[in-house]
Amino acid sequence: MLSTLLLVCCVSGLQPGQPPVTDRIDGARRMPAEWEPQEAVWLQWPQSWEGQRIEAAFTNIVAGIAEFEDVVVVVNTSGLELDAREALAEVDPDRLRFEVIPNDSSWMRDNGPRYVEVDGQSVLQNWGFDGWGGGFGSVPYDKDNAVPDAVGGLLGLHVEQVALVHERGDLEVNGLDTAMVNWSVVGQRNPQLSRDEAVAAFEQALGVSSVIVVEGFDPRDGTRGHIDGMARFVAQDTVLVGDDGGALMDSVAEQIAEQRPDLKLLRLEARDAAMLLNFLVGDGFVLVGDSRDEAQNALAKSTYEELFPGREVRFVNVDALWSNGGGVHCVTNDQPVAP
């Protein structure tokens, strides 16, 4: 666990002139792309205050993933573990592992760890998490902010502390040299930094040489526009951007094309593009939120089958999650296979 001093420092954010990464291991580094082999997918099991509909959505998501790879279910207490085991009784127990780690809510994509490879070894990172910058009101986040340290201890991995306040839902990487984020998120969480200073911090932490920085968000979105609901890397040289008929996604596509004209840019034309883009890629599968529209789902299915050949495209009901601000990708945290 983080000490109180380090936790406060981390959540307060990176200060100008401060090294962005402490306990940093030197060496060539990169962050694996989501489509690379995975060890497991982690989730933080919803607590009673989040409601039965959220729990049902998690049950469906875990069941979908467990058909293809291992799932680690993080629970807040041992009592909650009993509830989770009961809800997941139909899931192959050989695919499930439960870990008791204190946490505040169930959005592990955002507060959970990031993994980088440094000179052939897997390193875990704990970035600052402040409860989405207050976008959902005053919510507790101290426990969530410490989860990556606990995961690192369980896995026996070195943990780097990254002072930048940021959620993993607002991060896309191509597994080679490029990251993509939304300045509407990064700048709001770290108002003391210029865009250039923030980009330099991403480059040092992730080992990328290019950071695509878009800007813009739907004012109804409490996250201020996580990139995983607008644009996704689907290959090292290809970005898929939504096209829901609105100006925001068009603007995002234009900004990406302007900054990196060398990349292939594809569009997913669907009214519910944000939900359909919030997919999880895993070993042998792509798990997608069900838009409840056959034509839209068919388009997404054919698109992802072409982009991720050899993977089965599955749809899962995420209505309860979506009404609370997220989907499949938002509640899952993929752990890549160690190099």
Alpha helices in the chain (DSSP H): 4-12, 52-66, 78-87, 108-111, 142-155, 183-189, 195-206, 247-259, 273-277, 294-307, 319-322
Name the percent of the chain lying above pLDDT 70: 96
Q: What is the pLDDT of residue 11?
A: 57
Query: Could you tell me the residue range of the domain that residue 231 belongs to?
Result: 4-14+29-336
- DSSP-derived secondary structure letter, 193: S
Within 8 A by CB and 6+ apart from 134, the residues are none
Q: What is the pLDDT of residue 16?
A: 84
Q: What is the distance between the alpha carbons of residues 319 and 321, in angstroms, rounded to a whole number?
A: 5
Instruction: Report how far apart, in Å, the C-alpha atoms of 275 and of each of 125, 181, 297, 325 are.
Output: 27, 18, 11, 10
**pLDDT, tens digit, for every residue of 182-238?**
999 999 999 999 999 999 999 999 999 999 999 999 999 999 999 999 999 999 999
Residue 10 has pLDDT above 50, yes or no: no
Task: Give the pLDDT mean for 87-91.
Answer: 98
Q: Is residue 23 part of a domain?
A: no
Q: The sheet that has 285-289: what strands, in order across it?
A: 280-282, 285-289, 312-316
Q: Is residue 43 part of a domain?
A: yes
Residue 315 has pLDDT above 90, yes or no: yes
Q: What is the pLDDT of residue 26?
A: 95
* CATH code of the domain covering residue 277: 3.75.10.10
Q: Is residue 221 part of a domain?
A: yes
Computed on alpha carbons and rounded to an integer, the radius of gyration of the chain in Å comes to: 18
Task: Give the pLDDT mean for 83-104.
Answer: 98
Q: Is residue 24 part of a domain?
A: no
Residue 9 has pLDDT above 60, yes or no: no
Label residue 14 by pLDDT band (50, 70, 90): confident
Count of domains for the chain? 1
Nearest residue to 170 (alpha-carbon basis) of 128, 109, 254: 109
Q: Is residue 306 part of a domain?
A: yes
Alpha helices in 92-246 (DSSP H): 108-111, 142-155, 183-189, 195-206
Task: Give the pLDDT mean for 134-156.
Answer: 97
Task: Give the pLDDT mean for 129-150.
Answer: 97
**pLDDT, tens digit, for every residue of 255-289?**
999 999 999 999 999 999 999 999 999 999 999 99
Task: Give the pLDDT mean for 64-78.
Answer: 98
Q: What is the distance between the alpha carbons of residues 182 and 230, in angstroms, rounded to a whole number?
A: 10
Q: What is the pLDDT of residue 318?
A: 95
Q: Is residue 20 part of a domain?
A: no
